[in-house]
Amino acid sequence: MLRGAELAHAKQALIRTQEAPEPKQAAPAPALVEVAVQVSRSQTGQSWGIGLGEDEGSGQKVITKVAEGGPCGAKLMVGDRIKAIDGKKGLDHAAMVQIIGGSLGISFVVLRTAESAAAAAASASSIARQPTISEKEPDVHVAVRSDGIGSGTSDTVSVELVRETLESSFGFGIGNTDEGQFVITNTANGGVSDGKLQVGDRVVGVNGASTANMSHKDMVGSITSGLRCQLVVVREKEKKGAAIDRRASISTVEPDTKVAARADHLGKGSKEEVVVKLSRDDASQSWGFGLAEATTGEKLVSQIAEGGISDGRLQVNDVIVQVNARSVLEMSHADLVRILQQSVSVEVVVDRESGTTGAWQRKGSIEEVAPEKEVEAQVNDIGHLKSEQVVLHLTRPSLTDSWGFGLAEDARRGAKLVSKVAPGGICDGKLMAGDVLLDINGQTVADLKHAEVVQAVVACTELAITVDRPVANFKFTRNETISRVNRSTRISARADNLGEGDDDNVTVSLVRKDRSVSFGFALGFADGAHVVTVVNPSTPSDGVLQLNDVLLSINSKSVGGMSHQDVVSRIVESLVMKVVVQRKASSGRQVVEITRDSPAQSFGFAVAEHPNVQNCTIITSVLDGGLAEGLLYPGDMMVGINELTTDDSNHVSRVEQIKASLTVKLTVVRNGAPPVVQIEASE
């Protein structure tokens, strides 16, 4: 690890950014002669007194400066092109610096101009001050430069990297250690930085600015902002002569170095990979970010809390690809939220839009930053308080496809709860058993009855749902049932597999104080089915049973094959009933237009005022072979006639409209129930 004093010294000595000089008319290349040079020093801590650079144009390694009175003062010349070191040719800049810095004696083979060769031969001792490479050869653009090679325990290296396009990678990654140092985390084989940067290099300058007070996102933003990047790095000399594989990662080169934030393959394509480590005091503290799932399956950071744990590390629209070394590709939104909820420290790997680091607004939301992303599940503040609010956008192919979840009602609180989630269904990995439904398609469900919520769910193919998910439920898998998640919950009504096929089986509980109090519904019998024909308001059945529900069982006893009287007797004897009914899926509002030839001709249907629904007209029968056959059905509730609605008409005026019309346009709400031929009250 670099000593603090060395880093401070290196940061003080930052070179200023220099733009590449304007191209000039090329002069004839001077003749070069090959010269063998032997140099030595007394100890490894002594500086060689030379600088080594790399010509951006030719890639040649060139001596950039020679210190007066140093070991190389009378032997190497500024401008020497190094052909070989200790018999080794084709070395890159990093490998050459490594060999020079670790040796007591070196054999150089250099290419030197005739003028420089004559000057060296004429001097029997150290040449008095030599000019620097920029003074001697101003047309040479040095892309990588190391000065003071061999001094102390580290070298300061200046590196200039150039990529072809903004979509190209610079070929290295950078991390931010717990000590505030910026460290090179990896280099790509054959990439722009290969042979120039080395894993473990500490970055002390970027584009002429010190990194002392930079955040990780500012650093990445500066690097990826253009085609050219200038870095000043401090490179620790090898310990005990061990060679570092420059293509290893920081975790293998320096396993004890803790990297809190990391971005790999900077500038690559339209994404850059960032590794972020987060920790919190306990599992009740918010992580300070929201998590969304797009319709593409991407897990997105949806918002950032200013001043929170994730502020300055994550940013809105980051795509999470790994959590704690586990891929999130096959995880559901609920599973990922559960992992985050149960952890006090996490390592998150995200894909980030290239060049956005440092330019992002933390107060933005995913809807503002990336409006093109279609979000279907969202938790706005992970880890906060005792529950999470989850926003879901769900769709199904048709009205007969199941939503894949059930809905129950808490008998004590009246809360509408997800009772179960079907594995592999539409809501698998999005809803969880025990979720408390807050609103549906913008409508608050607190004051709605269970039956009304069920009706709203099964009547549409698109749902926008907000649920409150208790933190305690995150320990359960998503395929549990409400009875497993919360054993103390008393269920007064329950409907499973909402929207499946044409019918849903709904489980409800009815309780009355004594047998003198009515359950509040009437039961009819038609075609072998026991059918609910009346539901009285303000009774135990209100909001629990619906007209035309078909009774299937009472207290786990099937009513199939029972006579109507036996079923009624079983109801009369009960104080508490657990009833399973088959509920026809509503087909929503229907507009029906019927035309007759003359006022004397019948439309072929009969109506009556609904006995329990205020200001409602109901279709009571449809004549076989009549004009309305196949258009209207018994049980259809009229909510409009011609241009009138229920708000500006009553039952009498609707009947008058029917009688006076040759063409009548009816708007009805259809339950699709069979006709009821017998009605018997049950107490």
Residue 598: predicted pLDDT: 92
**For residue range 279-291, what is the model confidence (pLDDT) as tens digits?**
888 777 888 888 8
Tokens 């150089």 belong to residue: 108
Q: Does CATH place domain 387-483 in 3.40.50.300?
A: no
Residue 334: predicted pLDDT: 79
Domain with CATH 2.30.42.10 in the chain: 31-140, 271-379, 387-483, 503-584, 589-669
Q: Which one is predicted more confidently, 657 or 478?
A: 657
How buried is residue 76: exposed, middle or buried, by Cβ count under 10 Å (0-12/13-18/19+)? buried
CA–CA separation, 467 vs 334, rounded Å?
A: 12
Q: CA 663: distance to chain centroid?
A: 55
Tokens 């769900």 belong to residue: 394
Q: Which one is predicted more confidently, 263 or 14?
A: 263
Residue 27: predicted pLDDT: 56
Q: Does CATH place domain 271-379 in 2.30.42.10?
A: yes
Torsion of CA 367, 369, 373, 379, to 10 degrees: -50
| Mean pLDDT along residues 254-266 | 66
Give CA separation, 213 vs 36, 49, 204, 226, 595, in Å. 46, 31, 10, 21, 82
DSSP state of 656: H
Q: Encoding tokens for residue 199?
A: 């894993």
Assess contact for 206 and 224: CB atoms under 8 A: no
Assess contact for 10 and 75: CB atoms under 8 A: no
pLDDT of 16 higher than 50: no
The whole model's pTM is what?
Answer: 0.40
Tokens 């009175």 belong to residue: 69
pLDDT of 603 higher than 90: yes
Q: What is the CA radius of gyration of the chain?
A: 40
Q: Which one is predicted more confidently, 372 or 313?
A: 313
CA–CA separation, 545 vs 460, rounded Å?
A: 21
Mean pLDDT of the chain: 76
CATH number of 503-584: 2.30.42.10
Quickly count: other Cβ atoms within 10 Å of residue 663's Cβ. 10
Tokens 């990678």 belong to residue: 169
| 590 phi, psi to nearest 5 deg | -125, 140
For residue 385, give the amino acid letter: L
Residue 250: predicted pLDDT: 65
CA–CA separation, 251 vs 259, rounded Å?
A: 9
Least confident of 14-23, 164-173, 421-430, 532-541: 14-23
Most confident of 34-38, 222-226, 272-276: 34-38
CA–CA separation, 99 vs 86, rounded Å?
A: 9
Q: Which architecture, in CATH terms, is 31-140?
A: Roll (2.30)
pLDDT confidence tier of residue 482, bands split at 50, 70 and 90 = very low
For residue 266, give the amino acid letter: L
pLDDT of 162 higher than 90: no
Strands 209-210 and 182-187: unpaired
List all residues 6 or more positions away from 48 whose beta carbon is below 8 Å from its beta carbon: 39, 41, 70, 71, 72, 100, 149, 150, 151
Tokens 């599940």 belong to residue: 377
Tokens 């670099």 belong to residue: 2
Please state the CATH superfamily assignment of the domain spanning residues 589-669 in this structure. Answer: PDZ domain (2.30.42.10)
Assess contact for 368 and 386: CB atoms under 8 A: no
pLDDT confidence tier of residue 169, bands split at 50, 70 and 90 = confident
CA–CA separation, 171 vs 161, rounded Å?
A: 10
Residue 675: predicted pLDDT: 37
CA–CA separation, 253 vs 247, rounded Å?
A: 10
